[in-house]
Amino acid sequence: MDNLPPLREVINTHGLQARKSLGQNFLLDLNLTRRIAREAGVQAGVQVYEVGPGPGGLTRALLAEGADHVLAIEKDNRCLAALSEVADAYPGRLDVIEQDALQVDEATALAGSPNQSEAPCIIVANLPYNVSAVLLTKWLQADPWPPWFQSLTLMFQKEVADRITAKPGSKAYGRLSVLSNWRTSPRRLFDVSPQAFVPAPKIVSTVVRFDVRKKPVAPADVNALQAATTAAFGQRRKMIRSSLKSLGVSVEALLDATEIEPTLRAETLSVEQYYALARAYVALK
Ligand code: SAM
């Protein structure tokens, strides 16, 4: 696919032994990384924002699949020399910033990237699991909407992917399902077995793609939506008339305005009912 050395060799040459503290489980199978890139929609005419390139397995696939440009954010400076070899193999198409992705203002970083591209941007990342959930929430709360990216393709612990794609009435349905389905249409692409990573984690992973809805399913204030889902799912076994008390507004007025049955429980409310609750909450606050 390119003239770069195999990833195992890259890891040995640059001393990139995986660090648990950085959630490092590397993908060394370039067929798998190319599959992720393809199913994320990477092709010529697209630029990619990648978080956590590590030794560069997924980055190489993104470039080989034809991305006009990749901007990669990596916290571990041990990876920079290996990534600069990838940049040399794809001149003018890869920029790497050494930073914590949680601190990055992405629109500014993209605009300031030396080889910046005007092409539509998608996010593709194989991140540590704790960081992916936090970043997903940050990206889903982007303001303005539609945001600076068109889709996100991210690796999750299978159980988190189940929560993201869960439907009302199921055990896995929760805050992450409501928030994800509000502004995007999430769908599972495929599972990845532990053996595909070095070192192998204990759990199965799932790649999820989220396509941005240009218009959210219903207008709602993102902070109010977070407040309503936190209150409801924080006490998911209780009836909604009781769990919503923590919002600090009249629950009766909230339920009247939204025509929601007071005896329902959090997991049976539809995504639309949560938007309605968020809107009523803003009006009553
Ligand atoms: N993309 C590579 C692959 O697929 O083989 C590496 C994936 S590894 C699961 C996660 C990567 O994210 C590591 O390279 C790690 O150093 C990096 N990382 C962890 N936390 C980060 C953060 N907060 N900001 C940026 N990069 C981070």
Domain shared by 109 and 231, yes or no? no
The answer to the question of residue 13 being in a domain is yes
> What CATH number should be reported for the domain holding residue 266?
1.10.8.100
Host domain of residue 21: 7-212
The answer to the question of residue 1 being in a domain is no
Domain shared by 201 and 229, yes or no? no
The answer to the question of residue 267 being in a domain is yes
Domain end position, chosen among 212, 247, 263: 212
- Residue 87 has a pLDDT of 98
The answer to the question of residue 164 being in a domain is yes
Domain shared by 254 and 122, yes or no? no
Tokens at 153, concatenated: 């393709």
pLDDT range class, residue 219, cuts 50, 70, 90: confident
pLDDT tens-digit profile of 238-277?
Answer: 999 999 999 999 999 999 999 999 999 999 999 999 999 9
Domain shared by 174 and 245, yes or no? no
Domain shared by 265 and 205, yes or no? no
Least confident of 93-97, 216-220, 222-226: 216-220
Q: Is the pLDDT of residue 186 over 80?
A: yes
The answer to the question of residue 232 being in a domain is yes
pLDDT tens-digit profile of 92-148?
Answer: 999 999 999 999 999 999 999 998 899 999 999 999 888 988 999 999 989 888 999
- Residue 218 has a pLDDT of 73
* Ligand 1 atom 5: residue of nearest CA: 26
Site residues for ligand 1, CB cut-off 6 Å? 22-27, 51-54, 57-58, 73-76, 79, 100-102, 126-128, 131
Q: How far is the centre of ligand 1, averaged over its atoms, from the C-alpha of 235 (Å)?
A: 34
pLDDT range class, residue 149, cuts 50, 70, 90: very high
> What CATH number should be reported for the domain holding residue 16?
3.40.50.150
Domain shared by 186 and 272, yes or no? no
Domain shared by 117 and 176, yes or no? yes
Q: Is the pLDDT of residue 165 over 90?
A: yes
Domain shared by 142 and 271, yes or no? no
* Ligand 1 atom 11: residue of nearest CA: 52
pLDDT tens-digit profile of 66-90?
Answer: 999 999 999 999 999 999 999 999 9
Q: How far is the centre of ligand 1, averaged over its atoms, from the C-alpha of 192 (Å)?
A: 17
Domain shared by 226 and 111, yes or no? no
Domain shared by 157 and 239, yes or no? no
The answer to the question of residue 269 being in a domain is yes
- Residue 282 has a pLDDT of 95
The answer to the question of residue 139 being in a domain is yes
What is the number of structural domains in the chain?
Answer: 2
The answer to the question of residue 217 being in a domain is no
- Residue 29 has a pLDDT of 92
pLDDT range class, residue 163, cuts 50, 70, 90: very high
Domain end position, chosen among 212, 239, 271: 212
pLDDT tens-digit profile of 30-59?
Answer: 999 999 999 999 999 999 999 999 999 999
Q: How far is the centre of ligand 1, averaged over its atoms, from the C-alpha of 225 (Å)?
A: 30
Domain shared by 48 and 87, yes or no? yes
Domain shared by 197 and 227, yes or no? no
Domain end position, chosen among 148, 178, 212: 212
State the closest ligand 1 atom to the C-alpha of 102, by its place in the atom list counted from 1: 23
Q: How far is the centre of ligand 1, averaged over its atoms, from the C-alpha of 189 (Å)?
A: 20
